[in-house]
């Protein structure tokens, strides 16, 4: 499985620092490191936009690592953001995921859940009714 790596170089007073990002689906931080690599960890979680105001949460089944077709538990949530956040938090905490994934999952959820809310640009239509 090939991963796509993006490299950003940040320039500071003393020199440059390069940060490597990856586009793996189960990498909540999008950082290219062993800690966040999906194949190195048995338990991963993915939060993606499933449609208009729908959030798809996929977790891995630890006993099905050799069967990629049935590897993920996928659930689509269409509740308000606070209820989805509680469900994700409870799922991560109750299934003994690594502790740093709880904050990352909530942060990713807030970004994904608010992304379809785009302000409509353009001229507002006037009411044609007589006043």
pLDDT value for 119? 59
Identify the residue whose tokens are 């170089």: 9
Examine residue 72 and state whether it is found in any structural domain, yes or no. Answer: yes
Examine residue 121 and state whether it is found in any structural domain, yes or no. Answer: no
Residue 85 maps to which CATH number?
Answer: 3.30.390.110
pLDDT value for 4? 61
pLDDT value for 10? 60
Which residue range(s) make up the domain with 25? 5-114
Entry pTM: 0.68
pLDDT value for 42? 79
Examine residue 68 and state whether it is found in any structural domain, yes or no. Answer: yes
Distance CA(12)–CA(120), nearest Å, equals: 38
Examine residue 127 and state whether it is found in any structural domain, yes or no. Answer: no
Report which of 45, 61, 19 is spatially closest to residue 112, judged by C-alpha positions.
45
Examine residue 122 and state whether it is found in any structural domain, yes or no. Answer: no
Examine residue 101 and state whether it is found in any structural domain, yes or no. Answer: yes
pLDDT value for 15? 67
Reading the block at residue 86, the tokens are: 């509680």
Do 55 and 114 contact (CB within 8 A), yes or no? no
Provide the number of structural domains found in the chain: 1
Q: What is the mean pLDDT of each run of 10 residues along the chain (131 residues)?
A: 58 69 80 76 82 81 82 83 86 83 86 72 70 60
Examine residue 123 and state whether it is found in any structural domain, yes or no. Answer: no
Examine residue 71 and state whether it is found in any structural domain, yes or no. Answer: yes
């Amino acid at each position: 499985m090939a991963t796509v790596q993006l490299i950003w170089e940040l320039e500071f007073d003393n020199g440059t620092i390069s940060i490597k990002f990856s586009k793996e689906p189960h990498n909540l931080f999008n950082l290219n490191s062993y800690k966040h690599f999906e194949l190195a960890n048995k338990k991963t979680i993915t939060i993606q936009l499933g449609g208009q105001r729908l959030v798809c949460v996929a977790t891995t089944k630890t006993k099905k690592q050799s069967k990629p077709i049935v590897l993920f538990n996928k659930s689509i949530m269409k509740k308000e953001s606070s209820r989805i956040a509680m469900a994700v938090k409870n799922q991560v905490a109750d299934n003994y995921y690594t502790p740093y994934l709880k904050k990352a999952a909530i942060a990713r959820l807030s970004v994904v859940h608010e992304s379809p809310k785009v302000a409509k640009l353009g001229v507002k239509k006037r009411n044609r009714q007589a006043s």
